[in-house]
Structure 1
């Protein structure tokens, strides 16, 4: 009887397989010590079919958990205090340590690109990539996170990706 139960559990595990989302190291807002937003606006329609890719020019790139958490906190402080936004502007941030940090998450409107904040999910790479690309670990993580969004039905299967520069008038941003 024990072997039948073990065989059944093995079958269930193989049949369901691992989710692409399970393979991603995700740090929620509590995990990086996010401040509370001053207000919340939920996205009105989902799934979305667009990702807008950004980079956080300052602070610099991060390669370990401690520095990435510090960078995300710095970005949130800059957005709330200098930009007067209600929260960090991005839905998600990706460090060169290969982790995804929750900004506003899948359900909230962001403040990443005027005119696109209710129509596109934003992913910001932590660091300045004007002269070089994010490392392979960060790029793979971002792509996996996009696929996770599809798997969880936040994003359409036929989504497309643009850079922040493509979403704005010439000269508005450098990337």
Structure 2
């Protein structure tokens, strides 16, 4: 279910336009997969809250509130990833990446404390998960066009200062 702006950005004289059109479908697929992942996780915060407790570091106050708030944020991010208009997607990507970075200490805590949850029963499984978080950050930035927008702004600033 893609809108008219999903598959083909407006043609322009920029050499990047062809790359953007070629990448539009893979970006959309990854963005929708992230949306589904966040939606499932967000619902899980309320239906399987005890499993999410494994990721709340012991030093964090009010773990139940942390679980509920992060669940609401994940549901909001899922909706934004799925339905935000094209012009807002880079912002959605940066917010999603920031959220993934913010919850990373919970993943580290789960590894350090050796707490089993989400099928992560061994230290090696929990360690592998730590390396998946940067991949999710990259996927959020790439699939929303956040990186491309950032690079385009930098190029535009460079041209402005050289002129």
Q: TM-score band, normalised by the shorter chain?
A: 0.3 to 0.5
After TM superposition, the score normalised by the length of structure 2 is 0.32
Greater strand content: 1
After TM superposition, the score normalised by the length of structure 1 is 0.31
- The structure, 1 or 2, with the larger RCO (C-alpha pairs under 8 Å, 6+ apart) is 1
